[in-house]
């Protein structure tokens, strides 16, 4: 499953780069990149989920082999440093993906705002006769 997800991400990224070479419109190009980012984000989340399932991850139960053990306050306690490091790396990667999505949305909104400002500025100049 993991190999299929990885191959899918690589194939769709290669296809996107080939299509992007022929696109002149920056809005269309941004839309293509945004769609690919969302696709890759979805596939990475699936990959993380399959890794959790393969590792026997569960909802806070005690696990062997250095897995998480539920603490008294519900937070995960780790039997080994390696398990904690793996958990933190997964959290970091998911946080980075969320940040990338949010940044992309912010950039898209800023672009729309600049375009709207230019249009209203041009309309105001035309109305005033400049």
Q: Which residues pair with 69 in a beta bridge?
A: 77
Weakly modelled stretches of the chain, pLDDT under 70: 1-2, 51-79
Q: Please tell me what DSSP assigns to residue 65.
A: S
Give pLDDT, residue 61.
39
Which pairs with CB-CB distance under 8 Å and at least 24 residues apart come from 100-105? 100/37, 100/41, 101/37, 101/38, 101/41, 104/34, 104/37
pLDDT for the residue numbered 73: 59
Q: What is the pLDDT of residue 105?
A: 92
Q: In the prediction, which pLDDT does 110 show?
A: 94
């Amino acid at each position: 499953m993991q190999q299929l997800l990885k191959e899918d991400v690589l194939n769709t990224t290669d296809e996107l780069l080939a299509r992007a070479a022929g696109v002149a419109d920056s809005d269309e190009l941004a839309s293509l990149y945004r769609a690919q980012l969302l696709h890759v984000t979805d596939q990475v989340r699936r990959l993380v989920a399959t890794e959790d399932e393969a590792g026997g991850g569960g909802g806070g139960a005690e696990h062997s082999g250095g897995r998480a053990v539920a603490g008294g306050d519900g937070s995960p306690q780790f039997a080994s440093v390696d398990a904690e490091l793996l958990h933190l790396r997964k959290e970091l990667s998911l946080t980075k993906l969320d940040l990338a999505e949010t940044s992309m949305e912010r950039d898209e909104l800023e672009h729309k705002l600049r375009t709207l400002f230019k249009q209203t500025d041009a309309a105001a100049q035309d109305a005033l006769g400049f």
